[in-house]
Amino acid sequence: MNMESMLLLGAGLLTAAFVAVVVFAPSTLTDESADWEIVDVCLAGHSEIVSHDHATLSIFIDGSEVSIAANIGIDDSECDGMRGIHTHDETGKLHIETPTPMNAPVGAFFEIWGETFNENQILHKVADEDSEVVMYVNGELNDDYQNAIIHDNDIIEIYYRDKSS
């Protein structure tokens, strides 16, 4: 085998390996929730808490505010206690309580809730050529969507609206 053949064979093998990784392991390349360790937090009580922050979440669909249920992330199918991000009432106040300091992405709350949120969808509403999903944090446009990290006293507003708005 000459040098040119060996180089072509090597390039072919590398290409095949790359394609195999992309095709057979897409979740490891695209599943951003894998880094959301807060989703796995389950606290039996307040004695385990090292970090306790709050934020307010509001969701508006076509101009109407959507109610955020009480007790999201409390005594659910994954945890007999409190998840790392949860609600106690219907005010949209998020409680971020963890046994160690850790990030609290907005998407982690939606994962705990069992709902969808990203740059293309909020709850059951999907953006298209006439509509959009927009998020503001503390009055500032934020395009990190599900990956935006929640900080103490953040005011998070998510809108599904006409693009002309």
- Mapped to the 3 state alphabet, what secondary structure does the chain carry? CCHHHHHHHHHHHHHHHHHHHHHHCHHHHHCHHHHCHHHHCEECCHHHCCEEEEEEEEEEECCEEECCCCCCCEEECCEEEEECEECCCCCCEEEEEECCCCCCEHHHHHHHHCCCEECCEECCEECCCCEEEEEEECCEECCCHHHCECCCCEEEEEEEEECCC
The answer to whether residue 14 scores a pLDDT higher than 60 is no
The whole-number average pLDDT for the span 3-21 is 53
The CATH code belonging to domain 35-162 is 2.170.130.30
> Which has the higher per-residue pLDDT, 38 or 35?
38
* Residue 25 binned pLDDT confidence (cut-offs 50, 70, 90): very low
Let me know how long the chain is. 165
pLDDT in tens, 104-136: 999 999 999 999 999 999 999 999 999 999 999
